[in-house]
Structure formats: C-alpha cells, structure tokens
Amino acid sequence: MLIRKASWRNAFCALALSAVLLCGKSAMAETTLRIAMTAADIPTATGLPNNGFEGMRFLGYPIFEGLVLWDLTRTDQLAALRPGLAEKWEQDPADNKTWIFHLRRGVKFHDGTDFNADAVIWNLDRYFNNSSPQFEAPSSAMSRARVPLMGSYKKIDDSTVAITTTKPASYFPYMVVYLLFTSPASFEKAGHDWAKVATLPAAGTGPFRITRILPRQEADLSRWDKYWDAAKMAKVDNVVLMPIPEANSRLAALRSGQVDWIEVPPADGLSSLKSAGYIITTGSYPHVWPWFYNIGATNSPFKDVRVRQALNYCVDRDGLVSLLNGTAEPSVGWLKIGDPDFGAPANLYKFDPAKGKALLAEAGYTPAKPLSFKVMISNSGSGQMLPLPMNEFLQQNLKEDCGVNVEFDVIEWQVLLTAARATPDSPSLQGAMALNISSPSSDPGVMARYFSSANFSPNGFNFEQWKDDEFEAALKTVGDSTDPKEISAAYRKAHERLVDNPPWLYIVHDLNPRAMSPKVKGFVSPQSWFVDLTLVSMQ
C-alpha cells in the first residue's frame, strides 16, 4: 500500500510539474508585432532599402545602422542626431571639409564578423566607388543623391575613419545618417551577387535581424539578443512587415486581426476605429506633400515664376485637410509656417483664386488659352498619404477655381522615385511637368540635397533644376559658418527664397497618422520620418 501511495504521489507531482512547465512556456510565449506598410512590395533587404523613407523606417535602421543615428525617443522637438556606430565625430581643425569619425569598439555584425574601419571603407566603396567589386548601382544612386557632398574617405586606424566633403558643410552629419552598413561577409557568402544577399539574409548591426524575405508578401525580423547597446534591446521577439498599398485593405487587415499596426489609415475610417477601441496616433513631423515643378523641361510652363506662384494661390489647402479628416495641415512653404526658420517671405500663400488667375493671365494663360499639364503620381508609397483621392481633389480644385487642366500618370511608388532622378526632358517622364513626391524637411542637409544647383538631376534631388542666386549665397553661409546665429539667419533667408521663388507647389504637411491595436504599447511618434521599434511591446 505504501508503495502504491508513493507511486500515486510521484505521478501527481510529475503532472503538476508538467503543468507548471506548460504555464511557464505560455507565459514566456514569443511576442510578434505585425505591421502593414504602404509599400507595394518589400523594400530591398541588402542593407540600403529602396521604397523611400518607409523602406529606411522598416528595413533600414532596425537592422542596418550608420555612423550617426536619429534620437527617436521624444515627441516635443525635431529628432536630433545621436552617436551610432561612431561614438563621436568632429571637423578636422586643420580642414573644415574633413570629418573624423571615431568608431564604436567591440561591435559585431549579426553574422559574428567585426564592425571596424575596414567594414566602413568597404561599404563606402559599395556606394561611391564604381570600380569596386562590391559596387551596387541601385544603392549607389540613392546614396549619391542623399550624400551629394561625398568627396574622399580613408581609414586612419581600425577604429577611426576620415571623410572629406567636396565643400564645407556644417550639416554633413545629417547626410551621414543615411549611409547604412552591411557585413562584407554577406556579399562574400552570396558569391558577390547582391541579388542573392537578401536571401541569406544580409547581416547588419541593429537591434533586429532579418530572418526571412517573401517578396510581395512579408519580411520577418527577430530581436538580436547580442545587440551592442544593452539599453536599446527590443521588447518584442519578432516583427512581421507586410506590404499593403491600398488604404482600405490595410484597414480591413487591422480590423480582422491580420496586423497590429497600419500606416496611414483611410481618413474616413478614423472615427469608427476610435469607437472600436483602436489607437490612432498623429504628430507633427518634418514632412511636406508637394508637386515638384519640372522647370528645366524645354517647353515647361513653370519656367515663369508667376505660374509657379499662381498655383500656390489656387490650391484649396483647407478643403484638402477636411478631406483628410484633419490628419494634415496646410503647407505654404518647405517648412511649416510656425517654424522659427520660416522667415518673412513676401508671399504668404492662401486660397486666393482671384490672385492666382491674375498671375496666370500675366503669364499668358487665360480661359481661351488655359494652363494644361501632366503630373506623375503614385497609387501609394512612403509618406504619400492617400495620393489618389488627394490628387483627384486638387485636379477638381484647380479646374474649377483657376481654370487649370491637370491630367495624371499613375505609376508605382518606386518608379516615381526613380523618375525624380531623371533629366527634365527624359522620355521616362512621358511629358510630365510635375511629380507628386512627399519629402522630408528636417534640416539644412536635406535643403541642400533638394535645392542646391549643384544637385541638378540626374546627379541629385534637384529634379526641378531650380537655381536662385540669393538662395545659393544663403546656403553657402549655412555650410561655411560655425556660428549658430549666423547659420540660423542664413537658413531663414534661404527658406524665404523657397517661398517667393517656389520650385514646388506646396500643398500640405502630413500629421503622420497610424492606427494600432490596443495591444501595442510604448510606441512613440517622433518628429521624424522614422520610428524606434525597440520601444514597442505587445501586451
């Protein structure tokens, strides 16, 4: 009897232990965050993603890092820079065109290989040295456009690199932030074939690593438990990224539980989402949603500044904001009107069709000879908000209020981005006289990239081939000076010229709307295009 009782007790204890282990396993179940992007496809996963800044947001910084990174932990100010793979940097006191970057020691790529000066030079050659074995044309095109001042670079020692720009630029660290680093071993393992690198998958140094890529379907990330910054360890185990370009499809995916977070919910669905308990986040950030004027095209109507100004007076921005259910604000310049660096331009654009039509008439466009042109737009994409209904509103607005005829060429987002690097009369533009491409407005480095005459397409982001001598002089002061007051005054002057001699039709500033399940905790909506996924948890 004693033996039988002991066996019963042992069996009970075994069952109890199994239950504890099962409960413990349940309590420790992996957490997965599922995000619906606006992109039509998975951004390239070789270390420098395409698909604009949405690509950088999700397949860039979480996996592949730069010497300089963004501080994305605050909502009350524009995102600042912070040390990344470089612990610190400074201008060479003997040469203000040379920057010295002191690399973080002990960092390893996800594949276990060392991050060091050799890896930095290897990646810079990937972007800027056409004759290097690792040269990658698509990444090079993006990097040269984002860092147009790159001159030369060299290794000083294993943990120090010097980069020399083509001219002095106080804002150069704001360009370096877009150069991300991939393990050279990934390229070797893929047999020197960048097309195969993503299938390995590629190794970075970030808080997440790529585990799987399914084109057009999903990209899977997992937390990197050996991340070099213990204070920035990710809180979720996995992230699944899904390309869902159509807004109502993203909404349906959230409601059905297919995803936990969607980028840019449809404006007419916000109220119902709130009522159902979903979280809607918005926030000011450095973003402008414009049309780029094709000023350089042979027969462009936009060579005449009066035409460019006229359209800025013709746009009903408040009506468009109402269409978007308040998730945007009117844009009357590259910067927001409340920005201390907005300046005091002569033109303060508002909805004034009479003034717009008067300017058009001065330029020779009347009801008998109306202004007519084509705009290239996308059906979705990074920062594009809801481009089809927004552009349809503008088309009707310009026709009814100023007699302007606009037709659209709707193309895929990445194709539109490529078009922005075309020359003004390129056949690829199919006669388009404007491009609708949402763009950052975060710092003088971005201003230089988009508007300096040194960066005319196809070499840079000045698609318009716009040149203004007063702007050029002010931008030079911004780059040359080390006096913050002098830099700020010149920055304001440069922005005044962007308003009074506009290269763009300024339309709205996005308020960065997202919709999330109440299970998503810890998200911060920074004043940036990017987000810090390490802050997010699932409960």
Backbone phi, psi, residue 72, to 5° = -110, 30
The pLDDT value given to residue 513: 94
Taking alpha carbons only, the member of 504, 509, 511 closest to residue 312 is: 504
The pLDDT value given to residue 28: 52
pLDDT of 206 above 90? yes
Following DSSP, what letter does each residue of 133-200 receive, concatenated?
TT--HHHHHHHHHH-TTEEEEEEEETTEEEEEESS--TTTHHHHTT-----HHHHHHTTS-HHHHTTS
Alpha carbon separation from 383 to 266, 286, 330, 387 (Å, rounded): 14, 11, 16, 9
pLDDT of 21 above 70? no
Taking alpha carbons only, the member of 290, 319, 311 closest to residue 356 is: 311
Q: Kindly state the tokens that stand for 93.
A: 């006191």
Mean pLDDT score, 266-284: 94
Among the listed ranges 12-26, 107-121, 384-398, which one has the minimum average pLDDT value?
A: 12-26
How would residue 22 be classed by pLDDT, with cut points 50, 70 and 90?
very low
* pLDDT tens profile 290-342: 999 999 999 999 999 999 999 999 999 999 999 999 999 999 999 999 999 99
pLDDT of 131 above 80? yes
CATH class of 287-510: alpha beta
CA distance 127 to 134: 9
CA distance 100 to 90: 5
The pLDDT value given to residue 4: 37
Altogether, the residues listed in the chain come to a count of 539
CATH code of the domain made up of 30-63+206-283+513-539 = 3.40.190.10
- Signed CA dihedral, 274, 280, 284, 287: sign only: negative
* pLDDT tens profile 67-78: 999 999 999 999
* pLDDT tens profile 381-422: 888 999 999 999 999 999 999 999 999 999 999 999 999 999
Do the beta carbons of residue 360 and residue 402 sit within 8 Å?
A: yes
CATH number for 71-177: choose from 1.20.120.350, 3.40.50.920, 3.90.76.10, 3.40.50.150.
3.90.76.10
Taking alpha carbons only, the member of 132, 129, 162 closest to residue 144 is: 129
Quick one: angle between helices 387-402 and 353-362, nearest 10?
A: 70
Domain ranges across the chain? 30-63+206-283+513-539, 71-177, 287-510
Q: What is the mean pLDDT of the chain?
A: 93
Q: Any idea what DSSP says for residue 295?
A: T
